[in-house]
Amino acid sequence: MTARTRLPGGAAETRGRATRTALLDAAEQLFAERGYAGASLRAITEAAAANLGAVNYHFGSKEGLLWAVISRRVSPVNRERLRLLAECRRAADGGPPDVEAVLRAFVTPVFALRAGGGVNSFVRLAGRMYSEPLPQLPKLHARLFGEVTGLFLDALSEALPGLSRKELWWQLQLVIGTFLHPLLAGPRLAEFTERMCLLDDMDAVADRMIRFAAGGLRAAQAREGAGRARGDGVRKR
Amino acid sequence: MTARTRLPGGAAETRGRATRTALLDAAEQLFAERGYAGASLRAITEAAAANLGAVNYHFGSKEGLLWAVISRRVSPVNRERLRLLAECRRAADGGPPDVEAVLRAFVTPVFALRAGGGVNSFVRLAGRMYSEPLPQLPKLHARLFGEVTGLFLDALSEALPGLSRKELWWQLQLVIGTFLHPLLAGPRLAEFTERMCLLDDMDAVADRMIRFAAGGLRAAQAREGAGRARGDGVRKR
DNA sequence: GTCTATAGGGGGATAGAC
DNA sequence: GTCTATCCCCCTATAGAC
């Protein structure tokens, strides 16, 4: 599409951004459904109604496209997470923040992302990122999530006094597993659970996850506190 | 290798089974690390020191190889799970089984699988299976795990009276997330957690997961019980 | 039973027309 | 900025030698 067509330059730029966004949307969905290796650029460009070369033009490579897909969602999520975390602290009025409120601040911004109807693809993609074998991935993860994760660890540390930093990191992984795993299968979760677990009412799903995770964290705190008080390093089994 | 070589038929069969097993081992590891689409038959046969055609000879297709990899581990896991579950019930002496004991019966047999040192690949592969987009997968999952899962749901139902079947299914997904997610990244978990979460002492890891999951389940039961008693269907948010 | 060779298709990336 | 054509590699599966 050149200047000789009836579309002026401004429209061409708009078209360019539309193509770019269409590629990001299509890639987000297909990476989420099929994984990085399973989603071909051909499938992505076809779903985006773009041509094959567009990915290399806009993002340099398939990996560049993946980084762009992830990065696009992180800024809004981080901003909203911090806003809700600040709200927790305000509500606590200087005291230790409420565990459920911290967890809600952590998970709600991710659930809020919707690309079309149903469960958003980004959650499933984010879940996959822990197991994709791309070498650059841990570095990107640290850069995108490191600071905000640290602040949440601080908040959990105040909400659950007595847990070491290492223990808090472990607990956070268990919390993330609680939040991510049921969503990884997406619409096919029902097939794995005799059609019992449906992803229709996401508010109810989030509430269930938050309650479960809060119970898990409190149990960890109870144990660590008791263990430290008794000064033992031996497990019962 | 025909009868004319100096290896007798018996040795040829042994060699055949060794190749078959080597393929299963290599496939288990590579499927776990790279996913189904990311692990090529070339990489698998090379790791197994077998030739490219061997997979199609022994398993018919790449998908047949995956089913064989999974099926091989399930029988021992199921048998051990049922044995430990029966032990729980015996220890409970007719009363409701202990939540931690049921969870331990559920997870220990999977952790016990070791293929070489370190975390076993099968756990990571099992975790991936929930998100791999292979159409036959839910059917296989139901066939392999359906019966034993049902028995564990029964046990949880007794250990946590008041939870509906649907709610138990949901809670089981949260438990599975707790168990699987931290292992999905494998040795790279440390890179995501500022080198805090190491998979060196797997007994300690299992204890932490069981404690967390038990706390989560008890919190769910407390809520459901309270909700039913109040007869409410409204969440606070 | 194991291997080689190859068919036949799809992959990511790129050059150059428009 | 967008698209087409194409390079070259890797993929799975199969046929046939040994």
DSSP letter at B115 equals S
Please say whether the beta carbons of B129 and B70 come within 8 A: yes
Question: Within this chain, do residues B50 and B79 fall inside the same structural domain, yes or no?
Answer: no
Judged by CB atoms closer than 8 Å, whether chains meet at B211 and A223 is answered as yes
Question: Within this chain, do residues B118 and B205 fall inside the same structural domain, yes or no?
Answer: yes
CA distance B224 to A150: 33
Please say whether the beta carbons of B67 and B27 come within 8 A: no
pLDDT bin (cut points 50, 70, 90) of residue B48 is very high
User: Is the Cβ of A128 closer than 8 Å to some Cβ of chain B?
Assistant: yes
- Identify the domain containing residue B23 by its residue range: 7-60
Judged by CB atoms closer than 8 Å, whether chains meet at B177 and A173 is answered as no
User: Is the Cβ of A234 closer than 8 Å to some Cβ of chain B?
Assistant: no
| Max CA distance (Å), chain A | 81
On whether residue B26 sits in a domain, the answer given is yes
Taking the C1' atom of every nucleotide in all shown strands and the CA of A53, the nearest one is D3
Residue A162, C-beta contacts closer than 8 angstroms, at least 6 positions apart: A221, A224, A225, A228
Taking the C1' atom of every nucleotide in all shown strands and the CA of A39, the nearest one is C11
User: Is the Cβ of A144 closer than 8 Å to some Cβ of chain B?
Assistant: no
pLDDT value, residue B224: 77
| Max CA distance (Å), chain B | 81
CA neighbor of A64 nearest in space, from A13, A23, A114: A23
Question: Within this chain, do residues B179 and B154 fall inside the same structural domain, yes or no?
Answer: yes
pLDDT above 70 covers what percent of chain A?
85
Amino acid at B184: L
pTM above 0.75, yes or no: yes
CA angle B69, A193, A100 (to 5 degrees): 110
What is the chain B residue with the closest CA to A144?
Answer: B192
Question: Within this chain, do residues B49 and B112 fall inside the same structural domain, yes or no?
Answer: no
What's the average model confidence in pLDDT over B47-68?
A: 94
C-alpha dihedral sign at B128, B134, B138, B139: negative
Judged by CB atoms closer than 8 Å, whether chains meet at B217 and A212 is answered as yes
Our measurement of CA B16 to C1' D7, in angstroms, reads 40
Judged by CB atoms closer than 8 Å, whether chains meet at A184 and B131 is answered as yes
pLDDT tens across B123-171, in order? 999 999 999 999 999 999 999 999 999 999 999 999 999 999 999 999 9
Question: Within this chain, do residues B56 and B80 fall inside the same structural domain, yes or no?
Answer: no
> Does residue B16 carry a pLDDT above 80?
no
CATH number, position A54: 1.10.10.60
SS3 B123: helix
pLDDT value, residue A1: 34
Q: What is the dihedral of CA A221, B201, A237, B73, to 10 degrees?
A: 120
Please say whether the beta carbons of A130 and B181 come within 8 A: yes
B216: chain A residues, CB-CB within 8 Å: 178, 211-213, 215-216, 219
CATH number, position A204: 1.10.357.10
pLDDT bin (cut points 50, 70, 90) of residue A12 is very low
Q: What are the counts of helices (DSSP H) followed by strands (DSSP E) for chain A?
A: 10, 0
SS3 B219: helix
Question: Within this chain, do residues A142 and A26 fall inside the same structural domain, yes or no?
Answer: no
B218: chain A residues, CB-CB within 8 Å: 215, 219
What's the average model confidence in pLDDT over A98-122?
A: 85
On whether residue B67 sits in a domain, the answer given is no
Q: Best mutation site among A174, A180, A199, A210 for testing chain B: the one with the most B CBs within 10 Å?
A: A174
pLDDT, mean over chain A: 88
Domain count, chain A: 2
On whether residue A103 sits in a domain, the answer given is yes
